[in-house]
Chains A and B, each alone.
Chain A
Amino acid sequence: MNTAQRRHHWRREAFLPYLLLAPALVLLAGMIYPFALGSYYSLTSYWLQYPKRFRFVWFDNYVNLVTEPLFASALEFTLGFTVAAVALQVGLGLAIALFLHGRIPGRGAIRALMLLPLMMPPVITALMWKIMMASTNAGILNHMLSFVGVDPINWFGSTGGAVASILIIDTWGNLPFVALILLGGLQALPNEPYEAARVDGAGTLAVLRYVTLPLLSPFIVLVVLFRTMDSLRIFDVIYATTLGGPNDATTNLHIMAYQYSFQWFQMGKGMAQAIVLLLIVVICSYLLMRLWNRASESTQ
């Protein structure tokens, strides 16, 4: 190898890592730029239709959230909904996974059918349910409930009904995801602990409580993590059905930030709300990640 060749080679080698990284860097820039811009706007009084009133206001938008009456209720709904949705979906998902883990006929077909809700765009899911959940007996859901003697439920026209509706629609759409992950986890569990438990004479419930659940815990924490992040920032289902109403009962932080930014064009305030939501998501995810690390270590 002569010097020229070596230099050429050297240059190529020095260049190569950057070349390989380029797509990731472009992607990163594409992610960071809007985020940085949003963070900057959250420190300003940016209001689309009053360009002359644009000012840097430091943390005013964040401080003022405390006195914004809608913020408290939106925060409450965001957190309350997340707790309820995650508990419901993980609880039901676990039950379905355990059921499908047993040797039942047609398991393969059920598993395939369960994928259907996952393939539907959430807005379509929401609109489909909105039609089924008509408030009178004309709605198919109320019609079916009438056979078991339930009076028509005012799904979207009452505050409690609207919250329940969002919860049901979100659960319908995401339950299969939870069930399939947990089913995958169950099928990956080692056989030995079960045999040992059987030898020790443990009953079904004891096996579930002292063997299955601890072994499954990394998977459970994983689905809790995913579902928590998604439930905290749920938007499409609410936007397509209740728009945050009635009486702001289904307004979460995401809907509120949307209203401020794109309905009233107060970008500064809207961005501040979105960043508060982001912080909540980051903190929850961080705590759950730690839990996940601990859970997966302890089962190894």
Chain B
Amino acid sequence: MNVQRRWINRLLLSSPLAMGGALCARAQDDAALAYYREAKINWKQADGQSLTIGLNKHPFTESLLPLIPEFRRLTGINVEYLILPEAEYFTKLVADLSQQRGEFSVIMTGPMRNWQYVPPDWILPLDGFLNNAKLTDPNWFKLDDFYPALIKANRWDGKTGGGVGEGPLYSIPVLAETYILAYRKDLFDQYNIKVPTTLEEMAEAAALVKKNAGIPGIVARGTPSVASMGTGFLSGLKSYTDGQWSEFDGKMNANFHDPRSVKYTELWINMVRDSGPPNWANMQWYDAMEAFTAGQAGMIADADFFAANYEDPKKSKVAGKVGYALIPPGPGGKTYSGLWTWALGISKATKNKDAAWLFVQWATAQRTLLNATLGYRNYNPSRQSITNDPRVQEIMGSWGNGSYLKVLAKNLETARVAWTPQPERTRLGDIWARALHEVYFKRLSAADALKKASVEMDKVLKEAGIK
């Protein structure tokens, strides 16, 4: 391929006409790359090296692909990539990391995933790259442009049970998601339903929507998987207990059966069973999101940026009819939303580490991320300057008649990674989600199902040598 291209280039350059064309292309190229060349580093320092990037299918990924030739011209680094759907992506990633084959140089990861990759020493801390003047121009890259909460979320000191926000930075965030309540403002107004400020009121509102409008009052993720647990449900539980409850007590004993958690689970499952859709137990995130977008639900407590879908008049039946609010707080009056960031990290087994960092730096640079948001709906921005860009403000500012941005800003004040750091988070979520099914289908009481889940989780941690 390369040989061929070089040959063609030579052929083109040999004709004066083509020369003019080449110069013209060169000028365009320079305009596109000028932004990156402002950085006081030598982008060509890894010229000729190759990288393979492991990517999850995602709007951010789509925004990156057309720009990769630009990166090649800027750095001379060859980039190949493999894009997989989320579940397959993480399976393939763990297979590669665990064998230390270094097939993927740069990976898409995030806080909870890093907890799995850091203890066996599979991914690199990035502080060394950030502090190396040869590799990073800090005044150009502007790490402090990222929301501090998001950078903190990607730091971890490697200790099971705590230490988020401390220790090395393992990945650079490319987007942020927190969890909020979206509701059908038109229906709430029409039937005089109050926007809920407690979980009990939320259940009431769901019942009223169902009774009056004849559609499910609430949709939520419900498949028996960790993917159902971390968004609305966990944020609600954290808020319900004023941020006090966590999956483990001080001695790393699973704590699902804590009385506050039992009470919350009963309320939540009753709400979903009584006022939710009949197929809650089979709902993935996109089923829930699409149901709400299609006008088939009164409320959804899930990722904030789903708003981009709800508010898209081309896809949505509810564009302009949605209100946004914080997930109901507990007695203390504060909401504690969970937080997730997709982020880029570097595999330890990769041979071309400097090249990998140049890629991460390029892909998380202000211009690259701004393009992802404006051109590919990569919400919410991880850099403050992107949120503040007038074009982004115009789009996000219109959602929910301006209420979206206000709710988001308020939510970010207290949002934090809701899970407790430990490598078996996926297993924990899967066990927990199965317990919810036992309650939903009335096989066990909430207290018994959650106790059973705690016992099972303790067994897993013991087997893994974590406890």
Which chain B residues numbered 219 to 233 have a C-beta less than 8 Å away from chain A?
Answer: 222-225
B437 at the interface (CB under 8 A from A): yes
Would A246 and B282 count as touching, CB distance under 8 A? yes
A199 to B369: give the CA distance in the assembly, Å: 86
Q: A184 an interface residue at 8 Å Cβ cutoff?
A: no
Name B431's closest neighbour in chain A (CB-CB).
Answer: A264
CB atoms of A53 and B465 under 8 A apart: yes
Q: Does B173 contact A (CB under 8 A)?
A: no
Q: Are A265 and B94 in contact (CB under 8 A)?
A: yes
- Contact between B277 and A264 (Cβ–Cβ < 8 Å)? no
The answer to whether A243 touches B225 (Cβ under 8 A) is yes
For the complex, what is the distance from the CA of A135 to the CA of B222, rounded to whole Å?
Answer: 14
Task: Decide if B120 touches A157 in the complex (CB within 8 Å).
Answer: no
Q: Which of B388-447 contact A (CB under 8 A)?
A: 423, 426-427, 430, 434, 437-438, 440-441, 443
B279 touching A134, Cβ below 8 Å: yes
Q: A51–B278 Cα gap in the complex (Å)? A: 43
B95 within 8 A of A: yes
Question: Which residues of A are found within 8 Å of B223, using beta-carbon distances?
Answer: 243, 245
Interface centre among A48, A138, A155 (most CB of B within 10 A): A48
Cross-chain contact B434 with A248 (CB below 8 angstroms): yes
Cα A135 to Cα B291 with chains together (Å): 12
Partner of B282 from A51, A53, A152, A156 at Cβ < 8 Å:
A156
A207-220, CB under 8 A of B: which get 1 and which 0?
Answer: 00000000000000
Residue of A nearest to B279 (CB): A157
Please determine whether A157 and B94 come into contact, CB atoms closer than 8 angstroms: no
Cα distance, A156 to B278, chains bound together (Å): 9
A246 touching B281, Cβ below 8 Å:
yes
Query: Would A262 and B91 count as touching, CB distance under 8 A?
Result: yes
Q: How far, in whole Å, are A151 and B104 apart by their CA atoms in the complex?
A: 51
- Contacting residues, chain A, for B441 (C-beta < 8 A): 158-159, 246-247
Q: Indicate if B71 sits at the interface (CB-CB under 8 A).
A: no
Return A142 CB to nearest CB of chain B, in Å.
10
Q: Knowing A48-B98, A248-B434 are in contact, say whether A157-B464 is a contact too (CB < 8 A).
A: no
Question: Known contacts A47-B464, A49-B423, A246-B441: does B281 contact A157 (CB below 8 Å)?
Answer: yes
Give the distance in Å from the alpha carbon of A242 to the alpha carbon of B225 in the complex: 11
Q: How far is the CA of A158 from the CA of B279 in the complex (A)?
A: 7
Sort A-B residue pairs by CB-CB distance and give the 9 closest, nearest first. Answer: A157-B279, A246-B281, A156-B282, A135-B279, A245-B224, A247-B437, A135-B278, A48-B98, A154-B278
Chain B contacts to A: CB under 8 angstroms: 91, 94-95, 98, 116, 119-120, 222-225, 277-282, 296, 423, 426-427, 430, 434, 437-438, 440-441, 443, 464-465
- 12 further interface pairs, Cβ-Cβ under 8 Å (given A158-B441, A247-B434, A263-B430): A47-B464, A49-B116, A53-B464, A134-B279, A136-B277, A152-B278, A157-B277, A157-B279, A243-B224, A248-B434, A264-B426, A264-B427
Offer 12 A-B interface pairs, CB within 8 angstroms, sorted by A: A49-B94, A49-B120, A51-B98, A53-B464, A154-B278, A156-B282, A157-B280, A158-B281, A244-B224, A247-B437, A247-B441, A248-B434
